[in-house]
Structure 1
Amino acid sequence: MISRVAPPLLVLLLAACTSSSATTTQGKDGPLDAVRVAMPADNPAPTPARAKDAKGAWVSAPDGSARFGYAGEPALLNLECRSGSLVVTRNVAAPIGAAALFALQGSGYILRLPVDATALPGQPGYIWQGSIPADDHRLTLFKAKFAGTLPGGGHIEVPASDVPGALIKRCAGG
């Protein structure tokens, strides 16, 4: 009797040991106690429904930052001043522990800004964020129309505005 029960039981035990979990805890390449959860491929993130003729715009936020986006949607791009540096945040999902170059092109300049996957307090997940000294001459590109591309973050077209230029000037000046 044992010989008939043992092989099926052994197969079940081995299968249970080799099956992979949908979650894995992060180690050296992510925060402690972080959990990566596999997203179903058949359930993509919803895309915002906006009119074809919708125009994105820069706004000055109450905290002094500059934000680019579309009315009624979260900002796509944030600029803020921290200790004489311009912090650039591209609000799209970033993989835990990832690093990339945010390629920005406009007004005769090309800027390849190093960005890292960053967790922001009060927000779920990770987004792309990097910084550059506020007196860097390449920041002129934020004052005119520019385009940006980020691996996994898509392409963004941003119109000219005085809002980012004013922030950069304040940041570089003090």
Structure 2
Amino acid sequence: MAAGIDIDITPEERAREIQRYEEEKEAQKRKLSEEMLSSGRYLEYGELDYPIESIDSYREKGSTTFEDVEFLYRENDIRYFSRIKFNPRKEMMLYQEDGQWYCQTAGQEPEKVLLSEWANDNEKEWRHFEIDKRTYLKRAIRERLEVPHFVEVPDDIDESKIERYK
């Protein structure tokens, strides 16, 4: 029994709620970016809107635009992402050193990044959705998800079952 919960939501109401949620998410991104650009911090820091959902946003130091990055897995307190705009995709790592967050894209120097206020204040809360590499690969096999070329597959997982990005 669901006391006090209205499960009779119409498709139109659901669509409005989804649209409202997306608009709020975009407004938050714009607010953070506008604050970053007006302060000049964009010349010193990158910015990572993490975590949001399955697709996160990343702005390189010195850039005024965001790009989509996809969280893959967490291993030894390093978060691994795929930078989608590159062809082939590039691996990006998020890690913390001496209290400062850094992002490093394969083949590039690490750069200081700022996370959203929520992410900084709630690090313990966002760990619940992070998965390890083995879980990530098993889910990719089960759900037939494509895995970036740079993700190494452990010996005990059948690589022939892994679908790779072309």
TM-score, length basis structure 1: 0.25
TM-score, length basis structure 2: 0.26
Q: Whose RCO is larger (CA < 8 A, sep 6+)?
A: 1
Q: Indicate the structure with greater strand content.
A: 1
Q: Indicate the structure with greater helix content.
A: 2
Larger Rg: 1
